[in-house]
Structure 1
């Protein structure tokens, strides 16, 4: 983080500023190690690896830190040679590069930074938070940048000033929190008047889809040691993927038969075979390992936006399940 970013941070216990203590070590204009302190309540926040750490690495999000540091470059366009993240970002949010240029964007849940890259490339000032050590992957992929500030923090205690962002972006996160609705509501106060919010969440329903197989296995896999689960996926997915592709291409019955063995198969994307295997291992782990997986209906998400008194609300099925957009009243 840079010294000027300290002015953007506040104590998560209250709207008080933080000060950098003596002894901080800097490299190329970035604070590598040090300590922030709140003079009001005495809270201290360590800075390690250029990132202020408002929470420890341990907790229900540990699996995400592991997977995004292990697969740090897998889904970033600039490393995989595609525009998949860019296309998903712009089609889901409805935003344009022109309106992102110079905009202050709060990214709630950055992961390895696949969407961080898209926003930075458009010229946005991006403030990214993640509960897990995925912040290290995001920073390694996208930093150091003058317009990037990354903090390890809880979505329910975001350490930035409220009503200070032109846009708030949260994809792939809400369903993995203990209370998706409460997490959503906590994002709204960070919007400026007229600011825009874009979220997505898994779709809840009874349709027979291959991805539903995770709910058959999660009672077991969420209790497995994560290293064991990962080694299991590394072993069977490269062997199973060709047969899984054949099954899922079968007309009429492929979608149902594809539920038998959990395998997130992207045979329809412009990826090499090696990339197909890597994405399958990554996203199958992402489906089976998280402690929380709470999908929502479009009606439930629409109720969130109404209760938050947002305007210009658009909730629809798309992307990873349900997409939602809204605007803070001007």
Structure 2
């Protein structure tokens, strides 16, 4: 069971192992959220006694009756403090029949506090470098979902890049880093996997709006550089469309293999270095759009898409050289999608905003990806380059790690 909140007879004064009472009170007083909003479980939900060291302990024989809500027990058992790796205690503020949970996760070692908002644990600052992605997926919430477009493009790409089989994912734990609006998340859930979807931006909320509260789907807003999980608990880890948008792609990759179980499999991709992407019109426009406010940059990207999409279609009709001429335009080739015209336009707008509004663009190469996989100690390494550079590997088998235990 999820352990109950630590409640003292005095009210909100409480301490955790590894931190003295005064230290915790200083941290509590410096919390940026007003004290009136930090509502802890009242003392009558359980009896507590004070030990010699001054910490509060719950007396045995009084089970906790709070509802865990959408942050289910299976996810909670896998969570750890991203700062120090310590265990997390949970304080439940609200939870109703709609499984909406609000509360706090408190580290028992370093006394860090992380909010749980709308049932999603949040381990990142409210404002961060990925804000453009949050705005992007809020505006184009269903522009890439196979279920919304009636196509199989995302499904085909997922299994092509991972080389996994749908039957292999049944009842396995899969960690997806950079889920966005849930493009590949819904594919994994449809295969019967237990999926933990992680995103650094507010796109995690768009993902939840798209896919809902499936019992096999867990949402976490976290940082790839400090993932809030116990190491070695996932059968599969995938990270698509993320590494080349990080400030440090190599450091972001290094956080992924340690999440694998022995025998677990990893699949990543990264954009290759392209001359026209670095020196062509896309780079020129980025000099402007990365300096504009996000709302203005999005309006400019939409306007540019409306101007260039007809030109792209005309160039595509030119025999032999049409496809090469299209690459000169800073717009993704979306004319091949078998969707309605308005859906194709929205997909083109999304691709344009993605190219022009992202703060970082750090492409890679096949040799670097292969070296990352080798340095991580993976085996059965495979790399290839088509539209993107894809890398795959497997964690070597060794003594089986223990399954997560209830905290």
Calculate the TM-score normalised by the size of structure 2: 0.76
Question: Secondary structure of 2:101's partner?
Answer: strand
Question: Secondary structure of 1:86's partner?
Answer: helix
List gaps (5 residues or longer) in structure 2. Answer: 1-69, 398-407
From 16, 20, 29, the counterpart of 2:90: 20
From 392, 397, 403, the counterpart of 1:325: 392
Q: 1:238 to 1:217 in 2, by over 3 A?
A: closer
- Higher Cα Rg: structure 1 or 2? 2
Question: What is the match of residue 10 of structure 2?
Answer: none
Question: What is the match of residue 144 of structure 2?
Answer: 75
What is the CA distance between 1:300 and its match in structure 2?
Answer: 1.2
List gaps (5 residues or longer) in structure 1. Answer: none
Kindly indicate whether the alpha-carbon contact (under 8 Å) linking 2:270 and 2:364 is maintained by their aligned counterparts in 1: yes
2:231 pairs with 1:162: yes
Where is the helix percentage greater, Structure 1 or Structure 2? Answer: 1
From 366, 369, 393, the counterpart of 1:298: 366
From 294, 297, 302, the counterpart of 1:226: 294
CA distance in 1, matches of 2:136, 2:393: 31
From 133, 145, 148, the counterpart of 2:214: 145
Q: 1:53 to 1:250 in 2, by over 3 A?
A: same
Kindly indicate whether the alpha-carbon contact (under 8 Å) linking 1:210 and 1:256 is maintained by their aligned counterparts in 2: no
Instruction: Name the structure, 1 or 2, with higher relative contact order (CA <8 Å, separation 6+).
Output: 1
CA distance in 2, matches of 1:224, 1:96: 43
Question: What is the match of residue 189 of structure 2?
Answer: 120
From 80, 95, 111, the counterpart of 1:10: 80
Kindly indicate whether the alpha-carbon contact (under 8 Å) linking 1:18 and 1:38 is maintained by their aligned counterparts in 2: yes
User: RMSD over aligned Cα, in angstroms?
Assistant: 1.9
4+ residue segments displaced more than 6 Å: none
CA distance in 2, matches of 1:125, 1:214: 38
CA distance in 1, matches of 2:100, 2:164: 32
Question: What is the match of residue 279 of structure 1?
Answer: 347
Question: What is the match of residue 237 of structure 1?
Answer: 305
What is the CA distance between 1:217 and its match in structure 2?
Answer: 2.2
What is the CA distance between 1:253 and its match in structure 2?
Answer: 4.0
Kindly indicate whether the alpha-carbon contact (under 8 Å) linking 1:194 and 1:327 is maintained by their aligned counterparts in 2: yes
2:239 pairs with 1:173: no
Question: What is the match of residue 403 of structure 2?
Answer: none
CA deviations 1:184-216 (Å, max 9, x no partner) are: 01111000111000000001144x589954223
From 274, 282, 288, the counterpart of 1:214: 282
Question: Secondary structure of 1:312's partner?
Answer: strand
2:100 pairs with 1:40: no
What is the CA distance between 1:16 and its match in structure 2?
Answer: 1.9
Calculate the TM-score normalised by the size of structure 1: 0.94
CA deviations 1:274-302 (Å, max 9, x no partner) are: 11110010011001111111111111111
Aligned residues: 327
Deviates more, 1:238-247 or 1:186-195: 238-247
